[in-house]
Structure 1
Amino acid sequence: MKIILSLQMRATIWIISAGLAGILSSWLWMYSEAQWKQHLHKSYMSGLSLFETVRDGTSPIDGLQLTKLSLPLQRLAEAGRFSQLPEVAPADHITLMSFGVTSSTSNIGQRMALAVISPDLKYPVAELEQSKQTAPGANLASVTRLLASYCANATLFITYENRPWIRVDGNAIWGCEAAPTDYRLLAVAIPILALAVLSALIANTSSAFVSFASILSGRWSARGSASYTPEGPRELRAMITAINAHRQAEGESLSKRAMFLSGVSHDLGTPAARLRLRAALIEDDELRQKMDADIDHMTGMIASVLDYTQSEMNIEKPRKMSLFSLVDSVVADFQDAGYPVTLQEQEAKKISTWTIFSDSKPTSLRGALLKTNRIIVTAQPLSLQRAIINLIDNALKYGRKAIVSLEASSEIASIHIDDFGTGMSEDEIGSLTAPFKRGENAASIDGFGMGLTVATTIAEQHGGSLYFQNTSDGLRATLTIARQ
């Protein structure tokens, strides 16, 4: 069973998770610091114990192994030739140290010599806190702590007050294997990982709202399906459910409106037919023609309103199609009827290949432009055809001819219809898409002012728009649609 959480619950879980991640990270860091300090302290205390063992001959503590060198090896150690000892490899590093306390009665009261053999490094003696007043035991403890801090396996050779040299193996205390596990890197990684996970969850949640908003912003996508699938947080699901209910109510309202207008059109058809028959009996030709014109105007207005309502209902299913083929067929129909309508193909750009070594004429750059006969869109063919017909018909009414051209990008396809009529102001152009709104020069032109309104509705249903521009020759109407 899938658990659906609200935004408030998600935010609470995220905040608690972030707090727990911070607490765990801090605890791991402090735990590692404490364990490391304890390890260094243990190494320091083992140095003190080692000094007492060398000085007094007591038993060493657990982890320390002391071996007295043989006589030949003693002579090598006394001469400082530790590299010649059999257990010292040629690549090993040798660090020599000596500690002592100066007294008022003698030059050297206590003296201790020390050699550190390590396969990894030569230890920085300068880091040791040495003083003439510091006891040799404290100096030796500082050395063992230094060995632990560098986490290197080392072997010690010690002599105290000219006594025999002793080999000391204490890697069980200050070696790398004895060092505690360092969780500080994990402590740093936890908040970074938690931040990445929380960022991904927040982005995923916000993307659900952004995706749904992008669907709503394009009426084409919104009208493409009967309802939306509730997804995301509980608040978004409630919003989607409410919008689905609203769209269903809106669709039912449009259906009722269309049925009502269809019924009115049908009911008015009968008296209109009777009026036409009775008007035919009128002997006065002028009066009969006026009545026929009024009847035609009334039936035409009813048909245009019904056409607009049907376009709003958007009951046609979209499918993939060639935009060029659709526009070409519409233009061909107008041309067959004798109207001056032309489909203009897109011109290819030119590119010159001139260099200092050669000179050639400009050639067509075919690959840089999308050919108009290859524009594939997902659209409602009948609705889009109706919009194009209305725009071409409007261009023919107010201009001498119409030139249709196509333009497309990866996301949008545009249909341009240029007429060659008289120019219009920006205010007049902006008001042309209102229902029953016609231009000031339309007094002698047939129509009801619904063609551009239907075209605008269809463009919005396809995720586009309809806008007009003044050109040097007349007016350009541009219908844009989303390709997907």
Structure 2
Amino acid sequence: MSVRRRLAALKFGLGLEGIRGQIAILVLASIIASHLIIAVVFFVNRPDRPMPSLAEPQQLHALTQLIGRSAAADRPQLIATIAAAFPRLEITTAASPPADAAGSQWPPHEIAELGWRLGPSYRVTALGDGKVVITLPDGAAIGARMPPERRRPPPWGNPWMASLLIGVVSLALLGLWAARTLAAPLSSFAAAAENFSLDSSDAPLPERGPAEIRSLARALNRMRGRITTLIEDRTRMLAAISHDLRTPITRMRLRAEFIEDEHQRTQTLHDLDQMGAMLTAVLTFLRDGATRDAPTLIDLASAMQLIADQFADVGAKVSYQGPEHAMAMARPGDLHRAVTNLVENAVRFGTEVTIRLALTQDRVTIEVEDDGPGIADADKDSVLQPFVRGDDARNMDDSSSFGLGLSIARAIARGHRGELSLHNRTPNGLVARITLPRQ
């Protein structure tokens, strides 16, 4: 590999447009975001800042009850002693507040809780700036300062917990990105390969996403184009050969008319008719395998009833069973030919034929059932191949059968993104089933 190709491969694999480069950017962005969020949580909670004691509300409650139960003459000394022991509470004597006094600095529920703890003989009034006045049972009052009770920080406020949560979120984002960027295009590639057909209605694969995915989509689109071109070239070549062969066949027919022996003239004309019919069957098979007709909304029930009527008009026992109307998207000409081929095959080997139609929310099922000898399980796959005929059709004297009827029907079914399958009927007979998606 040349130096230029190595550099291009290195740029392709490690560039920002590649999968590895985008994963590296996502991981780096997650690490930076994690550190930023952890720093914000640290400065908001400030573990180095002193926290007020969670026991201060209980201390104020106990000390207030102690002062309220003491004698009025001993209260000044007791209040001075308590103020020295608990300076943060700033307990002092105070004048009784008016009955309608009410502060707004403390939440009402905290005032109510302190009053509930002290009992109905005490009255708590908030004056603002963290100060409260508590009226004792005998009418005296004391003042205090108590910071609001500081709640414990939530679990996610811990830096270690925040780091763990950010790591989980980063992994989740990475998984979602991988599912969207990798799984979705790969699923579309698998669906495109499964539903690949030669009709031009299929849109090319979208070339978006990382560089590797875009390169794969371009390669698949080019491959589909090459396959389509190859099939079209083959069809054009065989059509040209068929056209060229018809001219000498016509000349041979003219010369055969001058053969004096009646038996030889008849046999020669029969062989030439068989050659012409074979060329027509081969071209029909190639054309149906690469059809370009656009699907349209049709009444499948009417189409199946029409096929049954056409065979009944020529004396065949063909009947239709199914709904009176059934709308679905299909190629009417191709589907008519596929079902007609199945009915012709069933009439050739059986005496009574039934066409059945069934629809579900997402599937269309067409069955052609006969009472003939059926097909052995070991031969079901082979009879669907081109130019493979049943045991009763191996005589080349029968120019109407070249082993292409079932092959054409299966090619048409696959062109509709469906499938043709063969099933034996009890006690005897065969069921040819076409299953199509109800688009």
Q: Using the TM superposition, give the Cα deviation of residue 180 of structure 1 relative to its aligned residue in structure 2, in angstroms.
A: 8.8
- Aligned match of 1:15: 27
Q: Tell me, yes or no, if structure 1 residue 69 matches structure 2 residue 46.
A: no
**1:85 & 1:483 partners in 2: Cα distance?**
79
**1:258 & 1:286 partners in 2: Cα distance?**
37
Q: Tell me, yes or no, if structure 1 residue 269 matches structure 2 residue 246.
A: yes
**2:30 & 2:283 partners in 1: Cα distance?**
59
Partner amino acid, structure 1, of 2:429: G
Q: Structure 1 residues 275 and 221, CA, compared in 2 at 3 Å: closer, same or farther?
A: closer
Superposition map of 1:27-176 within 5 A? 27-28=39-40, 30-31=42-43, 35-36=46-47, 38-40=49-51, 66=90, 68-70=92-94, 91-93=112-114, 155=132, 167-171=143-147
Q: Structure 1 residues 240 and 29, CA, compared in 2 at 3 Å: closer, same or farther?
A: same
Q: Is 2:133–2:141's contact at 8 Å kept on the other side of the alignment?
A: no
Q: Tell me, yes or no, if structure 1 residue 217 matches structure 2 residue 194.
A: yes
Superposition map of 1:71-470 within 5 A? 91-93=112-114, 155=132, 167-171=143-147, 184=157, 187=162, 194=170, 197-205=173-181, 206-219=183-196, 224-225=201-202, 227-345=204-322, 372-444=323-395, 445=398, 446-470=400-424
Root mean square deviation, CA, Å: 4.3
Partner amino acid, structure 1, of 2:330: A
Other structure's SS at 1:441 match: helix
**1:8 & 1:373 partners in 2: Cα distance?**
58
Partner amino acid, structure 1, of 2:157: R
Q: Using the TM superposition, give the Cα deviation of residue 199 of structure 1 relative to its aligned residue in structure 2, in angstroms.
A: 4.3
Q: Using the TM superposition, give the Cα deviation of residue 289 of structure 1 relative to its aligned residue in structure 2, in angstroms.
A: 2.0
Q: Using the TM superposition, give the Cα deviation of residue 424 of structure 1 relative to its aligned residue in structure 2, in angstroms.
A: 2.1
Structure with the bigger RCO (C-alpha within 8 Å, sep 6+) is: 1
Partner amino acid, structure 2, of 1:301: M
Q: Is 1:219–1:462's contact at 8 Å kept on the other side of the alignment?
A: no
Q: Structure 1 residues 298 and 422, CA, compared in 2 at 3 Å: closer, same or farther?
A: same
Pick which of 22-31 and 412-421 moved more: 22-31
Other structure's SS at 2:392 match: coil
Other structure's SS at 1:466 match: strand
Other structure's SS at 2:49 match: helix
TM-score, normalised on structure 1?
0.66
Q: Using the TM superposition, give the Cα deviation of residue 55 of structure 1 relative to its aligned residue in structure 2, in angstroms.
A: 6.2
Q: Using the TM superposition, give the Cα deviation of residue 14 of structure 1 relative to its aligned residue in structure 2, in angstroms.
A: 3.3
Q: Using the TM superposition, give the Cα deviation of residue 92 of structure 1 relative to its aligned residue in structure 2, in angstroms.
A: 4.6
Q: Using the TM superposition, give the Cα deviation of residue 231 of structure 1 relative to its aligned residue in structure 2, in angstroms.
A: 3.4
Q: Structure 1 residues 469 and 250, CA, compared in 2 at 3 Å: closer, same or farther?
A: same
Q: Is 1:39–1:180's contact at 8 Å kept on the other side of the alignment?
A: no
**1:191 & 1:117 partners in 2: Cα distance?**
48
Q: Structure 1 residues 468 and 224, CA, compared in 2 at 3 Å: closer, same or farther?
A: same
Q: Percent identity?
A: 25
Other structure's SS at 2:51 match: helix
Q: Structure 1 residues 179 and 378, CA, compared in 2 at 3 Å: closer, same or farther?
A: same
Gaps of 5+ in 2: 1-14, 57-78, 135-139
Q: Is 1:5–1:234's contact at 8 Å kept on the other side of the alignment?
A: yes
Q: Using the TM superposition, give the Cα deviation of residue 334 of structure 1 relative to its aligned residue in structure 2, in angstroms.
A: 2.1
Q: Is 2:198–2:228's contact at 8 Å kept on the other side of the alignment?
A: no
Total equivalences in the alignment: 379
Q: Over residues 429-482 of structure 1, what are the superposed CA-to-partner deviations in whole Å (9 max), with x where a residue is unaligned? A: 121111111112213453111111111111112111111011123011001111
Partner amino acid, structure 1, of 2:28: I
TM-score, normalised on structure 2?
0.72
Q: Using the TM superposition, give the Cα deviation of residue 418 of structure 1 relative to its aligned residue in structure 2, in angstroms.
A: 0.8
Partner amino acid, structure 2, of 1:448: F
**1:261 & 1:221 partners in 2: Cα distance?**
17
Q: Is 1:407–1:413's contact at 8 Å kept on the other side of the alignment?
A: yes
Q: Is 1:216–1:222's contact at 8 Å kept on the other side of the alignment?
A: no
- Aligned match of 2:61: none
Partner amino acid, structure 2, of 1:467: S
